[in-house]
Amino acid sequence: MQTSLIIVGQSLSLNKPFLEYIFLHIQKYINSFDATYYFDNNDKNILLNLEKIINESEQIIIVSSKNSFNTISKILCTLSQDSLELKAETLIPSKSPLFSKDSYKLLVEEKPIYAICALETQILPPLHVEMISPCDTFFIVGLDEDSTKILLEPLAATYDVKLVTTKIVEGFSKVKAIASKYGDIESFIHASMALFPDKIIKNDNIMEHIVSSLKQNNKTLSTAESCTGGLIASLITSVSGSSEVFHGGVVSYSNDIKRSWLGVSKETLQNYGAVSELCLREMMEGVLNASNSDFAVATSGIAGPSGGSVEKPVGTVFVGARDTKGEVLVERVLLQGDRNYIQHQSCYHALRLLLLVGKEYFFKK
């Protein structure tokens, strides 16, 4: 189903944290959208543009700032030959079959339109979506993107399912399975997990999966981060209930902190540098000793745009994971992108290694 998302109001598009909240909120109801459009409050062509988008889409989600919400509702009334009416403390099109405060569903040319008013620093209202599209998502760990397609697409065809794959980082992909009219997603995923029991994670949110798996197995995690600046800890603690499994993290940005807080030796830093496998191993050992956790992950590298050298160019990052039993994985990766993207890729590489070190806990048998 072709789904379009329309954001109306500069105050929304300028507010990155609030915009991320909007996207995550919508994805609770609609798995994904095919196109996103941004309109200014004072766009003189907004009626014509909305009409064009409606004609090209099968369903539309409109998120409007408070200053624009009534204007959008009036435009939708024009397109549906309707009039505004006060319902649930909100002026909405009178023909709306579903509505609540600051939210309603309307049919325009038999196409569903879901409109909500978004107010900064406030909880977003629900979308009145009656049915989530027939699709599901899962993660593949330990296979490259091409192998994932080659191995899974014939199986998907058997169950009349289409796959959309994206590479999070090398060896770590997210797959969206979309059923056709007679497709069987549940059977496809069950067969896929039977084929790759130690590679598929059936969860849309990898952080939730890590937290819930640790919790179920009574295991704990700590982090030692340098170039990612605490981003792994932030991703883990974004999950409700993570306090039960996450002991804490050390952001050891300077060499002095690596030495005094994590016990990285002076010789290691002098002879090999902070961006090295040996330093990373000592960082993980130090944070495990300090936290008494079962698992540790660590990062140390050059996120750029400055700081690189011929031997260690920008994007050179060492990532690692280990457990208290002595199982250790450390990799040197060479990443591309801006500073933010390199930091995020580093995080997911480290988490990928965590999943592999603790595969007996993170993959269903």
Backbone angles phi, psi at 221, to 5 degrees: -140, 145
Report the DSSP pairing between strands 200-201 and 172-179.
Answer: unpaired
Q: How distant, in Å, are the alpha carbons of 13, 303, 316 from that of 307?
A: 32, 8, 10
Burial of 292 (0-12, 13-18, 19+ CB in 10 A): exposed
**Going along the chain, which residue ranges are E strands?**
3-8, 35-39, 59-65, 84-87, 90-93, 98-100, 103-108, 111-118, 135-141, 161-169, 172-179, 200-201, 221-225, 246-251, 295-301, 316-323, 328-334
pLDDT tens readout for residues 149-162: 899 999 999 999 99
> Residue 2: is its pLDDT beyond 90?
no
pLDDT tens readout for residues 166-185: 999 999 999 999 888 889 99
Q: Which amino acid is at 278?
A: L
Q: Which helix (H) or strand (E) holds 342?
A: helix 339-357
Any idea which residue has 């798995």 for tokens?
A: 31
Report the DSSP pairing between strands 3-8 and 35-39.
Answer: parallel
pLDDT tens readout for residues 185-242: 999 999 999 999 999 999 999 999 999 999 999 999 999 999 999 999 999 999 999 9
pLDDT tens readout for residues 98-124: 999 999 999 998 999 999 999 999 999
Q: Tell whether pTM > 0.85.
A: yes
Task: Confirm or reject CATH 3.50.50.60 for domain 206-362, answering yes or no.
Answer: no
Any idea which residue has 């496809």 for tokens?
A: 188
Regarding the domain delimited by 3-118, which CATH topology (the fold level of the hierarchy) does it fall under? Molybdenum Cofactor Biosythetic Enzyme; Chain A (3.40.980)
Distance CA 45, CA 28 (A): 31
> Residue 132: is its pLDDT beyond 80?
no
* Rg of the chain over all Cα atoms, to the nearest angstrom: 24
DSSP 8-class letter at 190: H
Q: How distant, in Å, are the alpha carbons of 78, 105, 182, 233 from that of 72?
A: 10, 13, 37, 40
- Annotated domain spans of the chain: 3-118, 135-201, 206-362
pLDDT tens readout for residues 297-337: 999 999 999 999 999 999 999 999 999 999 999 999 999 99
Regarding the domain delimited by 135-201, which CATH topology (the fold level of the hierarchy) does it fall under? Alpha-Beta Plaits (3.30.70)
Higher-confidence residue of 141 and 44: namely 141
